[in-house]
Amino acid sequence: MTSRDKVFSAVRGALGLRGGAPPAPPLPLIRIPDVPLDQRIRQFCEALQNLNGKTFVAADNQAACGYVAELIAGKEAIASNSPFLAECGVTRLAGVHSGVTARQELRDLCARLPVGITSADYALADTGSLVLLSSREEAMMISLLPPVHVAVVPVNRLLTGLDELLALRPVPSRLSSSMVFITGPSRTADIEQILVRGVHGPGQIHVVLV
C-alpha cells in the first residue's frame, strides 16, 4: 500500500466508509425564490444603502439621465460603451467621454477623471451587488479606477440573488474572461482594524435602477 493509499484509507475510516471510492457528492441545490419586482427593488436599495452606497429608482430613461447629469454637474466622467447608457442619453451629457476603445487612452481617462459610469449585466437584490462581465461594451477599469462609480441598470436585469444568476449563467467563462461582483464602495480594515473606504476601488457608488 502506497502512502497515498494509506492517507485515503485513513480518511475513509474517519468517515465511516468501507473500501472503494467515496460516494459522489450530491448535486448542487439551486433555489430561486419567487420575489415580486417591487420587493426586489426594495431589497436591493436597502442592501446597498446599508453598505453606504447610494440608490435612485428612475421612472424612465430621461429621469435616469437627469440624475446622472446632476451628479456629475461641473465634472468630467468616463462612460462605458454600454448600449443602455446611450439609450438613456448618458453618453451625450456634457463632460462625458465615451466610445473609447484604445486601451491606453481608456486607462489614462480612468486614472484622471473623477467619475466612471457603467451599466451592469445583472444586479442581485439580496446583497445589493452589481455583476459585470468584462467586454468591449463594459471595460472593467471604468468601474475600478475613478473615485466615484455610477451604474445605470434596467430593472429587468435585477435578479433575486446568486442562485438565479448561476441558473442563468452556469458557466460564465463561456461569456467573458472575467465576472466581477461589486458590492458597495471599496473598503478595507487591514490596518489596525480601522475601516477605510476607497482603497482598492471607488469610495462612492451610485446605482440608478431604471
Q: pLDDT by residue for the chain (210 residues), tens digit each?
A: 789 888 888 887 887 776 666 677 777 788 898 999 999 999 999 999 999 999 999 999 999 999 999 999 999 999 999 999 999 999 999 999 999 989 999 999 999 999 999 999 999 999 999 999 988 899 999 999 999 999 999 999 999 999 999 999 989 888 888 899 999 887 666 667 766 665 667 889 999 999
Is 122 inside a domain boundary?
Answer: yes
Q: What are phi and psi of 60, to 5 degrees?
A: -155, 180
To the nearest 10°, report the CA torsion of 48, 53, 57, 61.
-120
Return the SS3 of 63: helix
- Residue 179 domain flag: yes
The answer to whether position 91 is within a domain reads yes
| Structural domain contains residue 10 | no
10 Å CB burial of residue 117 (0-12, 13-18, 19+) is: buried
Residue 170 domain flag: yes
Cell of 42: 426594495
Phi, psi for residue 163 in degrees, rounded to 5: -60, -45
- The residue assigned the cell 451587488 is 129
Question: What does each C-alpha distance from 138 to 5, 112, 200 come to in angstroms?
Answer: 49, 18, 19
Is 3 domain-assigned? no
Total structural domains within the chain: 1
CB-based contacts of 59, cutoff 8 Å, min separation 6 = none
Cα 75 to its chain centre, rounded Å, is 24
Our measurement of the distance from residue 160's CA atom to the centroid of its chain's CA atoms, rounded to an integer in Å, reads: 14
Domain of residue 174 covers 32-209
CATH of the domain at 47: 3.40.50.10420
Residue 116 in domain:
yes
C-alpha 85/C-alpha 118 separation (Å) is 7
Cell numbers representing residue 90 in the block: 448618458
If one counts every other C-beta atom within 10 angstroms of the C-beta of residue 65, the result is: 22
Whether 128 is in a domain gets the answer yes
Q: What is the pTM of this model?
A: 0.82
How many residues are listed for the chain in this entry? 210
